[in-house]
Structure 1
Amino acid sequence: MSEEQKYEHFMQRIEKGDKIEAEDWMPEEYRMTLIKLISMHGISEIMGALPEKEWVPKAPSLRRKLGIMAKVQDEMGHGQLLLRVTEDLMKPYGKTREEIMQDLFNKDLKFHNVFHMPAPTWGDAGLIGWLVDGAAIITQTNMLKASYGPYARALKRICAEEVFHAQHGEAIIMALAEGTEEQRELIQDSLNRWWDSLLMFFGPASSNTTGSSKQDTTIKYRIRTKTNEQLRQDFLDKYIPRVLALGLTVPDETLHYDKEKEQWNYKQPDWNEFKKIIKGNGPKSEDRLNLRINAYKNTAWVREALSPDEAKV
């Protein structure tokens, strides 16, 4: 069978709704798209635990401490699960999870823009769970039927746990909203600082002027079904009413619902700033990366003790 015939057969399988497995033939473009997407997702889960990790020793009660500790543990587990999925895809190249981590440390692998941002207050800890994880659920549930079987199955577990994470964040926000004026101002301050990052979460509507982009590739291969802008509109539809119901103000004087277009109109964030952040030049990029590097070095002995080579000695 020629490469062209293999490709046609592959696309027919995808169009029928078949799941592609790690050992199946797949086009190079499909494999590389998955590697970039899933490795970035996995690393972002790990790096995404760090802003909330900062609040484990500072949580206002034992119950809150236990809740945020469990959330951090879940996020790390999601990262490890996704890196294993990525590692299977990289077998033809002989690349391992160890090398994925080195790509992160060398700044060759990006992590999500929201996790480069500071989280100086308990309001930030709540908002991350409520709105950042809420945005993640919208993105990830869009890929629950992804054509790549191992990723779709991993997402089923991850999305189920993310729902609890969002409820955890919402519980913090509701407690603050029902508290003192100072506590309500804490939420508003967090929302003001995080709003642009939340809009950026889904990525730009198109990566270039031709309209061809990574999002088009993922849709072509049925890894996901919606564009960045459609996902952002889903987020606004779900959360704007909830934000307003709490008496909070969205920090965008242009925000309004266009009934004719049936969509939210909003002020575009600074996409040049977005590019700068994801390249590792955000407010907390260096601190978070150094924290991860040091943690990786300090736990090297555990990986060595558990390695198959060590067991043979």
Structure 2
Amino acid sequence: MYNYVEDGDSKTTAYVEEDQEKYEQFMARIEAGEKIEADDWMPTEYRQALIKLISMHGISEIMGALPEKEWTPKAPTLRRKLGIMAKVQDEMGHGQLLLRVAEDLMKPYGKTRENLMEDLLNGDLKFHNVFHMPTKTWADAGMVGWLVDGAAIMSQTNMLDASYGPYQRALQRICQEEVFHAQHGEAIIMALAEGTDYQREILQESLNRWWPALLMFFGPSSAATTGSSKQDIMIKYRVRKSTNEELRQAFLDKYLPRVFSLGLTVPDETVHYDEKEGKWIYQQPDWNEFKQIIRNKGPRSKERLRLREIAYENNRWVRQALVPETIGS
């Protein structure tokens, strides 16, 4: 069989011939529920799809710490400050764990975690749409924990039985910690919902701003894409089980009743539960806007990337100290 391989430097696509017998054995293994390990033979398409998925996931964990980091010094109480500091620390740890998993997959191409950070800064590696958004009030810190992390848990638990062993094992730990993050966010939301008129006002305003980004979180449906999509490839190789639209519907099933029970509304007059179809009806977000955001043209894209770049440059000496031969380079 033939599989495509992308040349990261020339941005061109070539095709390589792969052993049909090995491919069939590989597919038989994953269909039998076996886990693929880093040193096992795997199709080029599988390897590259995993690199894209896991590197984006890892970078998103790191970039995802930045919106809440902005509120660490402004948290209303010492208890809240300690909670959000612990959450930021967890997210950075998730990023490091995932980038190590991605690095093992990139060894045949001679690439490292440092190359991934460089890819992020030059615009070749994307991070999640929600982390391009501003956090204007304390309610946003709660919204990120409650709904953004809630969406992340749904996306990640969808891959808890992923065919790639190292990623599947990393997700086991990450999902356990993300549950605490969602509870942390929910505690903030509940305090605001039970608070003053002003607190309820900023909570509703925050939800209004975050709603389109939350719908975009899972990515476009197959109907909104042309050709074979990333989700189709991941399902084919048993890395994930559900489609983007199935995950979005599951998110609406879980969280819309909770939103409404707090007396909050969503900025979509079309939202309602269709008993006949057995699902929530909603207005699709602007997918053209989504494409612009993930191309680093979101409201806070430049500022967040610049902050990451400064941290990367300021800590270059640490990387050089750990690898002596790079000193002076």
TM-score, structure 1 as length reference = 0.97
Q: Is residue 2:281 matched to residue 1:277?
A: no
Q: CA deviation at 1:259?
A: 1.4
Please report how far the alpha carbon of residue 162 of structure 1 lies from its aligned counterpart in structure 2 after TM superposition: 0.3
Match of 1:238 among 246, 249, 254: 254
Distance 1:12 1:260 in 2: 39
Distance, in Å, in 2 between the alignment partners of 1:55 and 1:210 is 40
Contact kept in structure 2, 1:207 and 1:213, CA below 8 Å: no
**In the alignment, structure 1 residue 267 sits paired with structure 2 residue 283:** yes
Distance 1:74 1:301, change over 3 A: same
Aligned to 1:30: 46
Q: What is the CA distance between 1:306 and its match in structure 2?
A: 2.6
In structure 2, the partner of 1:51 is: 67
Indicate whether 1:299 and 2:315 are aligned.
yes
1:13 aligns with 29
Q: 2:87 aligns with which of 51, 63, 71?
A: 71
Deviation at 1:83, TM superposition (A): 0.3
Distance 2:225 2:237 in 1: 22
Alpha carbons 1:207, 1:214 under 8 Å: kept: no
Choose which of 148, 154, 160 in structure 1 pairs with 2:164: 148
* C-alpha distance in structure 1 between counterparts of 2:68 and 2:306, whole Å: 16
Deviation at 1:250, TM superposition (A): 1.2
Mapping of residues 204-243 of structure 1, within 5 Å = 204-206=220-222, 210=226, 212-243=228-259
2:207 aligns with 191
CA distance in structure 2 between the aligned counterparts of 1:49 and 1:97, rounded to whole angstroms: 18
Q: CA offsets per residue over residues 4-26 of structure 1, 9 Å max, x none? A: 00000000001000000000000
Q: Hey, what's the Cα distance between the residues in 1 that align with 2:192 and 2:322? A: 44
How many residues in Structure 1 have an aligned counterpart in Structure 2? 310
- Matched position secondary structure for 2:280: strand
- Amino acid corresponding to residue 196 of structure 1 in structure 2: P
Aligned to 1:88: 104
Structure 1 CA distance for aligned equivalents of residues 105 and 218 of structure 2: 24
Per-residue CA deviations over 1:80-135 (Å, capped at 9, x if unaligned) read 00000000000000100000000000000000000000001000000000000000
Aligned twin of 2:148: 132
Tell me the C-alpha RMSD between the 2 structures: 1.3
- Cα deviation, residue 211, structure 1: 5.6
Tell me how far apart the structure 1 counterparts of residues 292 and 281 of structure 2 sit (CA, whole Å).
25
- Name the CA shift for 1:233/1:211 in 2 (closer, same or farther; >3 Å): farther
**Structure 1 partner of 2:4:** none
- Equivalent residue, structure 2, for 1:122: 138
Per mean C-alpha deviation after superposition, the further-off stretch among 36-45 and 199-208 is 199-208
Specify the alignment match of 1:101 in structure 2: 117
SS at match of 1:257: strand
Match of 1:90, SS state, is helix
Unaligned runs of 5+ in 2: 1-17
Q: Where do 4+ consecutive residues of structure 1 move more than 6 Å? A: none
- Structure 1 unaligned spans of 5+: none
**SS at the partner of 1:21?**
coil
Q: CA deviation at 1:260?
A: 1.6
In the alignment, is residue 171 of structure 1 matched against residue 195 of structure 2?
Answer: no
Deviation string 1:217-246 (CA, Å, 9 cap, x unpaired) is 000000000000000001000000100010
TM-superposed CA distance for 1:206, in Å, is 1.8
Offset of 1:307 from its aligned partner?
2.9
* Alpha-carbon shift at residue 210 of structure 1 (Å): 4.7
Residues 209 and 80 of structure 1, relative CA distance in 2, 3 Å threshold: closer
Q: Equivalents in 1 of 2:24, 2:254: separation in Å?
A: 39
Q: Secondary structure at the match of 1:212?
A: coil
Percent of paired sites with the same residue = 75
In the other structure, the counterpart of 2:127 is 111
Question: How far 1:209 sits from its partner (Å)?
Answer: 5.3
Partner of 1:180: 196
1:237 partner SS? helix
Cα separation, partners in 2 of 1:210 and 1:275, compared to 1, 3 Å: closer
